[in-house]
Amino acid sequence: MRSYVVISCLVATTHALAAAPTTTPRAPLPFTSPKKVDEALRKNDPLLHLASRLIRDVNARRGVRSVYAWCRRADDVADEAGVDSAQALARLDEIEADLRAALQGAPRNAVDAGLAATFKSYPKLQIEPFLAMLDGMRSEQKPEVRFEKFEPDLRLYCERVAGGVGLMLLPLLGAADASPDTKKRAVDLGVAIQLTNILRDVGGDAVDLNRVYLPLEDLRSTGADLDDVLVGRLTPEYVETVELQVKRARELYASARLAVPDLPKSSRLVVYAIIELLEAIVDELEKRGGDSLTRKLKPSTPAVLGALVRAVRQSYGGGG
């Protein structure tokens, strides 16, 4: 359950290399070709797939999709139902070891080979956001997931698992030397997208995985009952709690918009598209009266088209 701000696929043409044997079953390797990565991006993150097609530079598009492939592999491990926490932690450790090996010139599989090629093409791409993402995923591997407050608890989690994606993408979008303010707003975009994903998936996370990402402090302040959330029961108090998160998400998207004019012109359209397409999920949530417990959120085709029109207008100076 994460959101991956446009990330794509140069999952290189290398064949997967054998990794050292381990007593724990290896982390699944779902992507062994660029075609499979593209198919997965289209299926699992259709809005991001649409946005990624707006990246003009072919190498950047491939690099972005290689980042997606790596993130997707880690996310699948973190959210896999029926896998105990010890096994999930071992697999996340394996993914980190595979990444380090790949960056030292010895990739063990096609996903890491593709990502290593991206690191080589973009020398200012840093490993730290990737490691932070794994740390965020490790923090979820327990019988129940709860967050007391938005600041610092949920915010820190969102920064780890998604905020860093903005930092991963800046070098690929020609903004490796972005100002500290632009980098901060890139993190805000990742946090906004993760918060959007949390709102979209409340029902499944709570009922299937015993994970409640809505801050407990907010649930108490609105009078919402945690037990209602855990069984997927929609109440007015739950809706009020959702409205608090919607307000935060919109503030974060607004912050991210302020950074786009500082990006290279060739990258502005795709970033505006990411913002508008993902915020369209928030729009849909509000149209449904805050109900993300009984149905999964998906913007309508007119809403998607409207988001793209707004992105084009902003990109070419026409406002929203």
pLDDT tens profile 238-296: 999 999 999 999 999 999 999 999 999 999 999 999 999 999 999 999 999 999 888 77
Single-letter amino acid, residue 180: P
pTM of the predicted protein model: 0.85
pLDDT of 211 over the 70 cut:
yes
| Most distant CA pair in the chain, distance | 58
pLDDT recorded at residue 15: 30
Residues comprising the chain, all counted: 320
Cβ pair 121, 171 in contact under 8 A: no
pLDDT of 210 over the 80 cut:
yes
Cα–Cα dist 174/13, whole Å: 25
pLDDT recorded at residue 281: 95
Closest CA to 170 of 66, 237, 260, 232: 260
Share of the chain above pLDDT 90, in %: 64
Average pLDDT, integer, range 182-204: 95
Cα–Cα dist 116/96, whole Å: 13
Average pLDDT, integer, range 22-49: 64
pLDDT recorded at residue 20: 33
Banded model confidence at residue 34, pLDDT cuts 50, 70, 90:
low
Banded model confidence at residue 128, pLDDT cuts 50, 70, 90:
very high
pLDDT recorded at residue 7: 38
Cα–Cα dist 167/26, whole Å: 28
Cα–Cα dist 108/96, whole Å: 12
Average pLDDT, integer, range 60-89: 86
pLDDT of 202 over the 50 cut:
yes
First to last CA, the chain: 29
pLDDT tens profile 284-310: 999 999 998 887 788 999 999 999 999
Closest CA to 175 of 260, 256, 65, 52: 260
Average pLDDT, integer, range 225-243: 95
Cα–Cα dist 156/255, whole Å: 17
Distant-in-sequence, close-in-space partners of 6: CB < 8 Å, separation ≥ 6: 48, 51, 52, 55, 64, 68, 169, 270, 274
Owner of token pair 């896999």: 80
